[in-house]
């Protein structure tokens, strides 16, 4: 029987060095697209998919994340007194239920697979989701919800997938495709960050996963893989070798790589333009900037 997915792991232990000096004192997950931190987008997506328990794998220097999810009674009281109902609603929408969040520390940066493994006891013997907050996905139906619906049909392990330019395969987990059914593919093997000439395809794993509990067992036994780290990709590939099902899911939506500066800027522009309250002024500004640049060329 397929069990409901109610737990999600958010690996947020990374140092975020690509965003230094900002990340010297702010976790990268608190960096803001328009007015919401990256982590809020991930949480909202998980909630939409029916997730009830949120497991953060953190590290030193990430306490701002815990504060972010705490309720803010003084601030709420002030806004109430000032009659700022809209702001109050915005603030309250970020409140999490008591007991819904767990934090566990990854003491050593040993890779994504190791970070996920740190949540082993909290996950127990249930299928679970993993969300990488660097991958922000704008979609009519949130990506993880699309995947949960697909999982209700197929069961097994499902990874979000997207075609990337062949020269970019070395930045991703890459799928070796068995049967291609359009939005779903069966996966024969997975390779972490292969060079273009060694990649089995250009269908890349994007940071959304639905995984069976056995992945945790595999992680317990794993040796270091690509980049000298314990790789989640390798633990999923191990399931295929054990004869278990792994699917790639071509989600509907636009993905932004907010782990890179260019991707973060693109997301800022896209999310800014999508906001009714900002669209007019912002699109006019962009048009003017573009015209100025053209004239200067």
Selected from 49, 185, 206, 267, the binder of ligand G1P by CB under 6 A is 206
Selected from 16, 37, 142, 207, the binder of ligand G1P by CB under 6 A is 207
Selected range binding ligand G1P among 36-44, 61-69, 85-93, 200-208, rule: CB under 6 A? 200-208
8 A C-beta contact, residue 200 and residue 189: yes
**Cβ distance to ligand G1P smaller for residue 51 or 205:** 205
Structure-block tokens of residue 131? 């969300």
Q: Does 144 bind ligand G1P (CB under 6 A)?
A: no
Q: Does 205 bind ligand G1P (CB under 6 A)?
A: yes
- d(Cα 258, Cα 207) in Å, to the nearest integer? 11
Please, what is the minimum distance in Å from the beta carbon of residue 208 to ligand G1P?
9
Of 8-27, binders to ligand G1P (CB under 6 A) are none
**Cβ distance to ligand G1P smaller for residue 156 or 259:** 259
**Cβ distance to ligand G1P smaller for residue 8 or 205:** 205
- d(Cα 88, Cα 229) in Å, to the nearest integer? 43
Selected range binding ligand G1P among 102-110, 139-147, 181-189, 205-213, rule: CB under 6 A? 205-213
Q: Does 112 bind ligand G1P (CB under 6 A)?
A: yes
- d(Cα 213, Cα 121) in Å, to the nearest integer? 11
Q: Could you give the string, one character per residue 213-242, with x where binding to ligand G1P holds by CB under 6 A and - elsewhere?
A: -------------------xx---------
Selected range binding ligand G1P among 25-33, 132-140, 212-220, 279-287, rule: CB under 6 A? 132-140
- d(Cα 209, Cα 143) in Å, to the nearest integer? 10
Residues contacting 142, CB < 8 A, separation 6+: 44, 45, 48, 49
> By beta-carbon distance, which residue lies closest to ligand G1P?
173
Residues contacting 137, CB < 8 A, separation 6+: 45, 143, 160, 206, 208, 251, 253, 254, 255, 256
Residue 78, H or E segment: helix 73-81
Please, what is the minimum distance in Å from the beta carbon of residue 196 to ligand G1P?
15
- d(Cα 88, Cα 79) in Å, to the nearest integer? 6
Of 49-108, binders to ligand G1P (CB under 6 A) are none
Residue 163 forms beta bridges with which residues?
203
Q: Does 130 bind ligand G1P (CB under 6 A)?
A: no
Please, what is the minimum distance in Å from the beta carbon of residue 97 to ligand G1P?
29
Closest C-alpha to 150, from 110, 198, 209, 104: 209
Helix axes 214-221, 232-241, angle to 10 degrees: 110
Selected from 16, 27, 142, 173, the binder of ligand G1P by CB under 6 A is 173
CB atoms within 10 A of CB 274: 11
Structure-block tokens of residue 243? 């004869």
Q: Does 38 bind ligand G1P (CB under 6 A)?
A: no
Selected from 135, 176, 238, 239, the binder of ligand G1P by CB under 6 A is 135
Binding site for ligand G1P (CB under 6 A): 112, 132, 134-135, 172-173, 192, 204-207, 232-233, 259
């Amino acid at each position: 029987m397929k069990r409901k997915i109610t737990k999600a792991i958010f690996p947020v232990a990374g140092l975020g060095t690509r965003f230094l000096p900002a990340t010297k004192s702010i976790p990268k997950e608190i960096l803001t697209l328009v007015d919401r931190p990256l982590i809020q987008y991930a949480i909202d997506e998980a909630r939409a998919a029916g997730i009830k328990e949120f497991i953060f794998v953190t590290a030193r220097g990430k306490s701002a994340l815990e504060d972010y999810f705490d309720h803010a009674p003084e601030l709420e009281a002030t806004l109430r007194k000032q009659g700022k109902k809209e702001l109050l609603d915005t603030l309250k929408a970020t409140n999490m239920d008591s007991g819904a969040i767990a934090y566990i520390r990854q003491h050593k940066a040993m890779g994504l697979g190791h970070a996920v493994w740190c949540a082993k006891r909290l996950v127990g013997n249930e299928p679970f989701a993993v969300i990488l907050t660097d991958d922000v996905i704008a979609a009519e139906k949130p990506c993880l919800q699309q995947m949960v619906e697909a999982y209700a049909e197929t069961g097994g392990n499902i990874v979000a997938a997207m075609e990337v330019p062949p020269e970019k395969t070395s930045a991703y987990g890459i799928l070796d495709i068995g049967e291609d059914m359009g939005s779903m593919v069966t996966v024969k093997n997975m390779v972490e960050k292969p060079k273009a000439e060694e990649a089995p395809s250009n269908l890349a794993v994007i940071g959304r996963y639905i995984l069976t509990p056995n992945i945790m067992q595999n992680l317990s036994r794993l040796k270091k893989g690509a980049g000298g780290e314990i790789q989640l990709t390798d633990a999923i590939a191990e399931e295929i070798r054990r004869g278990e099902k792994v699917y790639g899911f071509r989600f509907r939506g636009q993905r932004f790589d907010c782990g890179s500066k260019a991707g973060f800027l693109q997301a800022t522009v896209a999310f800014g333009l999508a906001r009714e309250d900002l669209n007019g002024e912002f699109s006019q500004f962009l048009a003017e900037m573009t015209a100025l640049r053209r004239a200067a060329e």
